[in-house]
């Protein structure tokens, strides 16, 4: 058995790879064909609305994977992951705003909000933001560096449990208040919107939307495989041991702070990448993405799908956000009640989430 075959068998069995291949076929073949090749008059046509909706949910699924890595496998519950998601979105949003050029309302080679506020030049944080490679680098560096610095002091100080959750929530709330200020140079309450182009290509064309959709699907699959590789390795087993009995792991000679810091920083970077993919597809990023409620929702996605399963995190993001898209259209005033009820029901009756329920049902079907 070669090293590649050995690695593949370690990640997933034959059935797992078959499901992954089927999902890839749908994302990269079926969806593009039904959207680009099938005429809009056909009942089999996939509209731009569905392309954007599924693309957005896949971005959320990457965030849910990132949350499952730290919560499901390391026992670190963050209530501030919406901050890293938004920072990635803002980092890439700067590039998209520079791509507007002089096509804005004021016909000036600056974002409209800067012209409105009588800014004469770009602030320091916008340096080189007209370069794709630089903003793509910021998407990784800004959330990663913030997470590293925050995690270094938090884990070295042995902050954990509910105290860590509260601090992360306070961090994202403080950042949200900061970004609401016009003086920060990020559009204040309105944030970034009205994007025109990406890499010089019109962003609203069907081909561009499908390219963004396919890129998001590719990143989601890559993130899943990376997460699976980590949790099935020796590193992942140490993380699980830290989750279950950190004191015993420390007595065995492991520096648990290093393990937690690495997985925490990686999780933040994945959120930043998801935010960067989210912004051009949805067309807006504002401080509301940093709200504590959004970060709490991320934890709900993982709980609904199944904490510590990876696939469950993706399923939970799909279930909750799919229901949200439907209910906010049909019953907008009841959506938050539904979300609260769903979390209560899952906590009481499905502690292992939807994946845990599925595993129990399939186990009953197997012959004794």
Angstrom distance (rounded) from CA 5 to CA 14:
11
Mean pLDDT of the chain: 91
- The pLDDT tens digits for 285-327 are 999 999 998 999 999 999 999 899 999 999 999 999 998 888 8
CA dihedral over 84, 183, 285, 129, signed as positive or negative: negative
Tell me the C-alpha distance between 67 and 78, whole Å.
Answer: 8
Instruction: Write out the two tokens for 288.
Output: 């509301």
**Token pair of 256 as six digits:** 């648990």
Q: How confident is the model at residue 362 (pLDDT cuts 50, 70, 90)?
A: confident
How far apart CA 148 and CA 164 sit, in angstroms, is 15
Question: What pLDDT score does 1 carry?
Answer: 56
Residue 103, both tokens: 């096509």
Q: 286 versus 330: which is more confidently predicted?
A: 286
- pLDDT given for residue 45 in this prediction: 92
Query: Is pLDDT at 367 greater than 70 in this prediction?
Result: no
The mean per-residue pLDDT over the stretch 102-122 comes to 88
Q: Are 138 and 91 a contacting pair, CB within 8 Å?
A: yes
How far CA 259 is from CA of 11, 98, 151, 152, in Å, comes to 21, 38, 11, 11
Q: What percent of the chain has pLDDT over 90?
A: 70
336: which 2 tokens?
A: 């938050």
C-alpha 242/C-alpha 76 separation (Å) is 10
- Residue of 265, 36, 260 whose CA lies nearest to 157: 260
Token pair of 242 as six digits: 């830290």
Output the pLDDT for position 352.
83
Q: Is the dihedral of CA 16, 55, 289, 279 positive or negative?
A: positive
Cβ atoms of 351 and 106 within 8 Å: the answer is no
What is d(CA 268, CA 147) in angstroms, rounded to the nearest whole number?
Answer: 6
- pTM for the full predicted model: 0.95
**What is the dihedral sign for C-alpha 67, 172, 58, 211?**
negative
**pLDDT tens readout for residues 147-171:** 999 999 999 999 988 999 999 999 9
Instruction: Read off the pLDDT band of 346 (50, 70, 90).
Output: confident
- What CA–CA distances, in Å, run from 294 to 50, 99, 153? 22, 28, 25
**Max CA separation in the chain (angstroms):** 76
Strand partners, 202: 197
> What confidence score (pLDDT) does residue 365 get?
65
* pLDDT tens digits, one per residue of 61-103: 999 999 999 999 999 999 999 999 999 999 999 999 999 988 8
CA torsion sign, 272 to 274 to 275 to 280? positive
Task: Write the pLDDT tens digit of every residue in 41-58.
Answer: 898 999 999 999 999 999
Rounded Cα distance between 271 and 140, Å, is 9
Q: For residue 298, which of 12, 18, 52, 65 has the smallest C-alpha distance?
A: 65
Among 109-118, 163-172, 273-282, 311-320, the least confident range: 109-118
């Amino acid at each position: 058995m070669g090293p590649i075959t050995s690695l593949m068998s370690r990640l997933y069995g034959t059935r797992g790879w078959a499901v992954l291949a089927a999902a890839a076929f749908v994302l990269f073949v079926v969806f593009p064909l039904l959207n680009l090749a099938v005429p809009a008059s056909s009942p089999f046509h996939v509209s731009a609305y569905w392309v954007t909706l599924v693309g957005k949910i896949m971005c959320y699924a990457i965030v849910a994977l990132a949350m499952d890595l730290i919560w499901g496998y390391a026992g670190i519950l963050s209530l501030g992951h919406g901050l890293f998601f938004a920072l990635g979105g803002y980092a890439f949003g700067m590039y998209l705003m520079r791509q507007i050029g002089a096509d804005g309302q004021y016909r000036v080679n600056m974002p409209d909000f800067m012209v409105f506020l009588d800014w004469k030049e770009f602030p320091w944080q916008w340096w080189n933001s007209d370069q794709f490679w630089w903003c793509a680098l910021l998407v990784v560096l800004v959330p990663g560096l913030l997470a590293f610095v925050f995690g270094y002091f938090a884990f070295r100080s042995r902050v954990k449990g509910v105290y860590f959750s509260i601090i992360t929530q306070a961090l994202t709330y403080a950042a949200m208040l900061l970004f609401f200020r016009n003086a920060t140079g990020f559009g204040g309450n309105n944030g970034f919107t009205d994007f025109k182009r990406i890499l010089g290509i019109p962003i609203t064309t069907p081909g561009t939307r499908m390219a963004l959709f396919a890129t998001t699907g590719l990143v989601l699959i890559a993130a899943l495989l990376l997460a699976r590789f980590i949790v099935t390795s020796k590193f992942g087993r140490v993380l699980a041991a830290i989750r279950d009995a950190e004191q015993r792991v420390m007595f065995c000679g492991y520096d648990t702070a290093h393990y937690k810091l690495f997985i925490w920083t990686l999780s933040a970077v994945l959120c930043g990448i998801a935010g960067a993919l989210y912004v051009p597809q949805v067309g807006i990023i504002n401080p509301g993405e940093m709200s504590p409620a959004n970060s709490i929702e991320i934890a709900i996605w993982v709980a609904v799908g199944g904490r510590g399963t990876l696939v469950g995190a993706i399923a939970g993001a799909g279930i909750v956000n799919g229901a949200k898209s439907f209910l906010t259209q049909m019953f907008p005033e009841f959506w938050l009640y539904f979300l609260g009820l769903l979390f209560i029901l899952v906590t009481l009756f499905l502690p292992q989430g939807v994946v845990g329920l599925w595993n129990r049902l399939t186990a009953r079907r197997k012959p004794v």
